[in-house]
């Protein structure tokens, strides 16, 4: 581990879950209780106040410790963004369960492999999307939403201008959405 403070982050997804297992593991890794940032919030939430406080509090030379990788990041991409942030700020990162320590050469290698896999995955998605669009175009598909029947829109506009029907009634009778109706009013 790097020089400086050893800071911990513990998170559980629901109020019913307990933080004790993680806190005990963090203490075992040398984190003082006062330096453990704790929260009970789902990992999919972008806003995580305790994590944000930890990121603000951490200084160059500090080490951030978590029990498991999934406690820290919402996704591989988010984890990699955090690792890049730590690298820029000269903050080491340790995951106890996965035995990762970015202050070591092996830990850096593992995260570079994760970053490469994430970039590869992103590139593959882009390639598949382009290939799919090209194949669709070759079959004559233009893409996008199919155009609404012009006659149905004309009928909806006529009903609207008659002022006898509500928008809800017009959308039910014609199948033209409220947004399409308003867009065609101009």
Q: What is the secondary structure of 50-106 as a DSSP string?
A: HHHHHHHH--TT-EEEESSHHHH-SSHHHHHHHHHHHHHHT-EEEETTTTEETTSHH
Residues 6+ apart with CB under 8 A from 68: 95, 96, 97, 98
Q: Which residues of 7-20 are buried (b: 16+ CB within 10 A; e: fewer)?
A: bbbbbbeeeeeebe
Active site residues: 13
Sign of the alpha-carbon torsion through 163, 164, 166, 172: negative
What pairs with residue 101 in β-bridges?
94
Q: For residues 10 and 94, what is the distance between their CA atoms, to the nearest angstrom? A: 13
The predicted model scores a pTM of: 0.61
| Mean pLDDT estimate for the chain | 87
Please give the span between the terminal C-alpha atoms of the chain, in angstroms, as a whole number. 65
pLDDT computed for residue 27 by the predictor: 96
DSSP state of 11: E
- Does an H or E element contain 17, and which? none
Express each pLDDT in 52-98 by its tens digit.
999 999 999 999 999 998 888 777 778 888 888 998 899 999 999 88
Render pLDDT for 105-146 as a digit per residue (tens, 0 to 9). 888 887 778 767 767 877 888 899 889 888 888 888 877 776
* Separation of alpha carbons 136 and 55, rounded Å: 45
Give me the pLDDT at residue 172, please: 92
What pLDDT does 53 receive?
A: 96
Q: What is the pLDDT of residue 158?
A: 92
* Nearest C-alpha neighbor of 39 from the set 51, 31, 47: 51
pLDDT at 161: 92
| Number of neighbouring beta carbons within 10 Å of residue 80 | 19
Average pLDDT over residues 11-30: 90
Q: How far is residue 73's CA from residue 11's CA, in Å, rounded to a whole number?
A: 10
pLDDT of 30 above 60: yes
pLDDT of residue 7: 97
Q: Can you give the pLDDT at residue 43?
A: 66
pLDDT of res. 118: 67
Task: Check whether 1 has a pLDDT greater than 60.
Answer: no
The mean per-residue pLDDT over the stretch 22-35 comes to 95
């Amino acid at each position: 581990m790097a020089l400086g403070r050893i800071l911990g982050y513990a998170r559980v997804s629901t109020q019913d879950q307990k933080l004790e297992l993680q806190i005990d593991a963090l203490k075992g890794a040398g984190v003082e209780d006062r330096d453990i940032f704790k929260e009970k919030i789902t990992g999919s939430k972008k806003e995580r106040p305790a994590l944000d406080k930890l990121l603000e509090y951490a200084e160059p030379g500090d080490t951030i410790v978590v029990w498991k990788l999934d406690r820290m990041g919402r996704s591989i991409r988010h984890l990699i963004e955090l690792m890049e942030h730590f690298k820029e700020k000269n903050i080491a990162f340790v995951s106890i369960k996965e035995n990762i320590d970015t202050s070591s050469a092996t830990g850096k290698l593992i995260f570079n492999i994760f970053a490469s896999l994430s970039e590869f995955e992103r590139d593959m998605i882009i390639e598949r999307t382009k290939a799919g669009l090209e194949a669709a175009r070759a079959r004559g598909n233009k893409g996008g939403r199919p155009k609404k029947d012009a006659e149905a829109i004309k009928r909806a506009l006529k009903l609207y201008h008659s002022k006898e029907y509500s928008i809800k009634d017009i959308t039910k009778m014609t199948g033209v959405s409220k947004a399409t109706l308003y867009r065609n009013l101009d």
